[in-house]
Amino acid sequence: MPTSNLLKRALIWRYRHISEKNFVFLLSLIIGLLAGLVSVIIKNITFAIESLLEKGIAFSNNQLFFILPIIGLFFVYLFIKHVTKKPIEHAIPSILYALSKKDGIINKKKIYFPLIAAPLTVGFGGSVGLLGPAIASASAVSSNLGRLLHIDRKTRNLLIGCAAAGAIASIFKSPIAAIIFAIEIFSLDLTFTSLLPLLIASVSSVITSYFFLGDDTLLNFTVSEKFIIKDTLFYILLGIGTGISSIYFSKIHFGITRLFNRIKSSKHRLIIGGIAIGIMLFFIPPLSGEGFGFINDLMSGNVLNALENTPFDKYLDNIWIVIGLLFGITIFKAIAMTTTFAAGGTGGIIIPTMVMGSALGNLVAKVINNVGLNFSVSEANFTLVGMAGLIAGVLHAPLTAIFLIAEITGGYELFVPLMITVSMSFIINKNVLDHTIYTKELLEKGALLTQDKDKSVLILMKLDNVIEQNFITLHPEMTLGHMLQIGVSKSNRNLFPVTEKDGSFIGIILLDNIRTVMFDHSLYDSTTVETFMIKPPEYIFYEKDSMGSVMKKFQQSGAWNLPVIKDNKYYGFISKSKLLTAYRRELINFTS
């Protein structure tokens, strides 16, 4: 029996025997398992590449490792040129765009593209993370499974959120933070309908991770020094520091990206970016790869191991040299990460954010402890809280930051300092930047879903669905008689677009404007369309106007119909009645 017939019969059986709610729960379980599997695969491929390089000739002399990123970037370049044929999009922004403008449909090729390009980038020392690509691949799996099973758009979007939650839960073994991430980043409603599938997906993904990797975690630390009330001021100081650093992180990302975008050749971007990364890694080797080893060393107090193999090894007995190197990592991690992206690499920003935050937190604690004022704070705790502060600022995801660090440490002893630092960092960043690295481009395109239901509904609406084209087109040189013969007598509309021969829109004729002369036969041959033509109060530009701006133009102009211009030509009309009807329908679908 053909596969299509088997699938059809299976879907019919499902509709008869499994309720929609239970089917979503079952799918969230499957997607969680698949997301966990994707995370395990991407990590193991990367670890295999790193292990191979460590044992190979490239590491026979540790001073040669800084040339590896440009080799990895070259492999990614070949993969993009001969396989993908176009650059691989950043993970989270591309998913958010698919949710808002593509009905949650993600190309199936994106299932395996990140599984190849990201390990090549990170395994060879590119200064990015694997979490974003894991989320991208898992989301593509979820989207295509939803399409195969004929899932509606809203449920498909929820299941993509489940995939993202599953990937995070698998990598960090932190199911609660994973759920909150999906809600904060993907703007999912916090209701029982969405919460339970997210929970099922997160738990099943964690179980998958335990099955393949055992109890090993990428970050493993137990808090031994509890929060002391006298340290409150220092955690506020850390919050201010992480807030300012998160602004720096975002601005340096946008700045370097713009700089590399001026370089038209991808080969030139690769060469320039690869050399720049190599130079940074030569002086600060901890910038290489994801950086989990660096974070673990800082949390365990083994700062010398975290900073080894730099040209400054013999000076590491001087605490201020150590502080200087930590400051260098804080400054250059964002630069190295963005340069890796700009040079053609693939990866995520969450783990580099954690590396930068851990370096900053440890740096602040060391300064406090060694400034000579007899203060003493926990360097491990500040390392952890620094990570949370930077995550909250860079991602605008404060709850994710708090619960991620809380789950990593296996408890909530640091809950108060986490809330202090995270809230300070988030407030400072939010007051300076309305957008994040994820959302800036989407915001400019009018494609960003938020918790604001009205705005989200407008974003989900499609312009093509409200454009009407059953209008009879007139030309300015037509006589009144000709216009009445081919236009008014054959149309059920009271509006007529006027265009040039090439389709350029120049005005409109309203039936009310010619009603008084329609039966004056003496004017049939002596007057033309141009005599009665008027300009519309507003224009809608197909390529530029979002549904939000369309709604605003109707509100400001008071018009009932507005013309749509596409490629500088007349394309159709949008009526206020059809627009509002479509809005109400979409709002019902969105909130049901």
pLDDT digit string (tens) for 23-64?
Answer: 999 999 999 999 999 999 999 999 999 888 877 654 445 556
pLDDT tens for residues 571-592?
999 998 888 888 888 877 766 5
Q: What is the average per-residue pLDDT within 233-248?
A: 96
Instruction: Write down the pLDDT at residue 1.
Output: 47
Instruction: Write down the pLDDT at residue 5.
Output: 78
Please state the φ and ψ torsions of residue 317, each to the nearest 5 degrees.
-75, -10
Instruction: Write down the pLDDT at residue 2.
Output: 59
Two domains, one topology: 3-213 and 229-450? yes
Q: What is the average per-residue pLDDT within 144-154?
A: 88
**DSSP states of 273-336:** HHHHHHHHHHH-GGGSSS-HHHHHHHHTT-HHHHTTTSTTGGGTTSHHHHHHHHHHHHHHHHHH
pLDDT of 116 higher than 50:
yes
Does the domain at 455-591 match CATH 1.25.50.10? Answer given as: no
Confidence of residue 190 (pLDDT cuts 50, 70, 90): low
Instruction: Write down the pLDDT at residue 64.
Output: 64
Does the domain at 3-213 match CATH 1.10.10.10? Answer given as: no
Look over the chain and give the mean of its residue pLDDT values, rounded to a whole number. 88
In this structure, which CATH number among 1.10.10.10, 1.10.3720.10, 1.10.3080.10, 3.40.50.720 belongs to the domain 229-450?
1.10.3080.10
pLDDT tens for residues 85-113?
888 888 888 888 888 888 889 999 999 99
pLDDT tens for residues 306-334?
887 788 888 888 999 999 999 999 999 99
Percent of the chain with pLDDT over 90: 48
pLDDT of 456 higher than 80:
no
521's CB contacts (< 8 A; 6+ apart) are 481
Number of H helices, E strands in the chain: 25, 6
**Strand order across the beta sheet in which 569-575 lies:** 467-468, 569-575, 561-566, 540-541
Partnered with residue 564 across adjacent β-strands are 540, 572
Domain boundaries, the chain: 3-213, 229-450, 455-591
Instruction: Write down the pLDDT at residue 68.
Output: 86
